[in-house]
Chain A
């Protein structure tokens, strides 16, 4: 990716704190945030904090990654159903890829996502790790 500070800066709130948007009319919640409801078309949307826990619903293990992730394969990326029912896509960490399975209880953790080359900014955000018993 081309280096860019503003592109990363303007998404910080949504990525660091897991902020989505909720339709005031039909109640649907979206992540990433949307200004227009995909369900009912309403433009009355408010920002909401999403829960930081969920269940692993589906996953893949990336053996050949993109340039930004060549430092770290294999990478586990999962579809996570948050406790409020919203489904998000995130990396799953702190687990051996061979032990990943559907139904795992996960919790968000603040991590480094990728670096913009040798001298660019470092992008941070949330990944998910197994929840402690």
Chain B
């Protein structure tokens, strides 16, 4: 297997981009990534686009040739990868494979979502397509509602209070404040979170990731290409794994353990030959506050029911044991669903390069990004390491 390096990152600010289209966002991120990597159009052999819902929200499919056309990359291999809210992280896994296999020397992988083109009820219709249309969406439940069932079960099973779980939103906002790409670069208090309106009981508005537009892109290459480009700092993809679970969470034996996260993490750690204690910085997929502590547990950083202690004891802060969501997470950086997994990896790359500004974790060498589709139905865990 060829070694795989991330040599370029490009992001648009996450937010409400009324004046920019799906393709414009992707092209903006793609060109930034190429410039950052120092590669030319001729270097790019393939384009992989992570996206969840362009068919429903823009009436637009076939994003491979759409994006390659607008990037001026006629002729390259190109296709969309879809895995609901995990599209970005899972697209990255397949991009990794395409270099690791030895077939390509240099490719572009990006993620894009443009959610403000449609009204909120239509965004909610798009998001519930992550679960079963016939037997779940037809009950009237929303995606937030599915997570609300998990939330209630978790509080009951482990005797954890909502006030403690909601701290994850406060944490995310604290770090988003210093992230120039974040949708909500300001702090919120626990009181504000707890008094915000109910979205799907018990989940409140400020415990939910927002409706966002955004695109992020990465340039991946092999050893040969990296040497040719003469990179001073080099970030290697040390481990990359994807796992799935039974699609609908209520059909699983336990709502409060995300089996696919455990399985993907186990595989990625093994491949990277590292343990959770080796990770210096991490991005987790906290689409709702409850998922934050659950991911800390299922990724191997805490026992079940104890994820919240890491939050309360400062262990996920910049100077803690496992600095988490230094970007502001899904809650406050924003969650342009199919792009989020690529944002996470871009943010980890900046951390490992020492370019994360005020949120920089000192001397970060190994980072992890977890991207989730549905309620833990598909999960990508990617581990990056600075090798030079």
| A64 interface neighbour in B134, B144, B202, B246, Cβ under 8 Å | B144
Residues of B within 8 A of A67 (CB): 121-122, 124-125
A62-B134 contact, Cβ under 8 Å, with A67-B124, A77-B145: no
When chains A and B are docked, how far (Å) is the Cα of A68 from the Cα of B142? 11
A87-B200 contact, Cβ under 8 Å, with A58-B149, A67-B122, A114-B138: no
When chains A and B are docked, how far (Å) is the Cα of A61 from the Cα of B198? 9
When chains A and B are docked, how far (Å) is the Cα of A32 from the Cα of B132? 10
| B142 interface neighbour in A1, A62, A87, A88, Cβ under 8 Å | A62
Cβ contact within 8 Å between A11 and B134? yes
Cβ contact within 8 Å between A69 and B200? no
Cβ contact within 8 Å between B200 and A32? no
Asked if B304 CB lies within 8 Å of chain A CBs, one says no
| B198 interface neighbour in A63, A90, A113, A123, Cβ under 8 Å | A63
A91-B122 contact, Cβ under 8 Å, with A1-B133, A58-B152, A63-B197: no
Asked if B128 CB lies within 8 Å of chain A CBs, one says yes
| Size class of the B contact interface (CB-based, 8 Å) | 35 or more
Residues of B within 8 A of A125 (CB): 138
Cβ contact within 8 Å between B140 and A79? no
Residues of A within 8 A of B128 (CB): 66
Asked if B190 CB lies within 8 Å of chain A CBs, one says no
The 6 residue pairs across chains A and B that have the minimum distance between CB atoms: A60-B148, A61-B201, A67-B121, A77-B141, A66-B125, A75-B140
Cβ contact within 8 Å between A65 and B250? no
Cβ contact within 8 Å between A65 and B124? yes
A60-B149 contact, Cβ under 8 Å, with A79-B250, A89-B141: yes
Asked if A70 CB lies within 8 Å of chain B CBs, one says yes
Please report B residues at the A interface, Cβ cutoff 8 Å. 120-122, 124-125, 128, 132-142, 144-145, 148-149, 152-153, 197-203, 246, 248, 250-251, 255
Asked if A38 CB lies within 8 Å of chain B CBs, one says yes
Please report A residues at the B interface, Cβ cutoff 8 Å. 1, 7, 11, 15, 30-32, 38, 58-70, 72, 75, 77, 79, 87-91, 113-114, 123, 125
Cβ contact within 8 Å between A64 and B136? no
Residues of A within 8 A of B251 (CB): 30, 38, 87
Residues of A within 8 A of B139 (CB): 77, 89-91, 113
Cβ contact within 8 Å between A91 and B201? no
A selection of 7 A-B contacts at a CB cut-off of 8 Å is: A7-B134, A38-B246, A69-B140, A70-B121, A75-B140, A77-B141, A79-B149
Q: How far is the CB of A62 from chain B (nearest CB, A)?
A: 5
Residues of B within 8 A of A31 (CB): 135
Cβ contact within 8 Å between A62 and B145? yes
Cβ contact within 8 Å between B200 and A64? yes
When chains A and B are docked, how far (Å) is the Cα of A61 from the Cα of B197? 12
